[in-house]
Amino acid sequence: MIKVVIDTNILVSALLSPFGAPGRILDMIISGNLIACYDSRILVEYKDVLERPKFGFSRNDVRSIIDFICTNGVSVIAVPLAIELPDEDDRVFLEVAKHCDAYLVTGNMKHYPEDARIVTAVQFLNL
């Protein structure tokens, strides 16, 4: 089974545009074709961002998605990485992806080092 770490921007895009590439990846997680890896820091960020009023997502929908990921995904305590990133808030996603040997799917490629396992949603779907 393929493991993925979904950057928050991919989750937001999936909910805003369910028929795009991020939406297809979320569908693959929900259908059990992919396993989402996460830690508590990622869940907190998902909740904080998805509950922002500007998106208009219902709290019940946000709770359902996070509960689904918790129930069906892989929770880890990742080893800290000694690497500098342009946006240190993104470190958690890279740490969890490396820990799980998972693909990191992101819309912010410039925030991460070059790595064959750090991909955009379209790149992931083309693998």
Per-residue pLDDT of the chain (127 residues; tens, 9 = 90+): 999 999 999 999 999 999 999 999 999 999 999 999 999 999 999 999 999 999 999 999 999 999 999 999 999 999 999 888 988 899 999 999 999 999 999 999 999 999 999 999 999 999 9
What is the C-alpha to C-alpha distance for residues 81 and 104, in angstroms, rounded to an integer? Answer: 15
Which pair of tokens denotes residue 43?
């869940």
Which pair of tokens denotes residue 121?
């949603």
Cβ–Cβ under 8 Å, residues 110 and 86:
yes
Write the class of the CATH domain 2-126: alpha beta
Domain ranges of the chain: 2-126
pTM value is 0.96
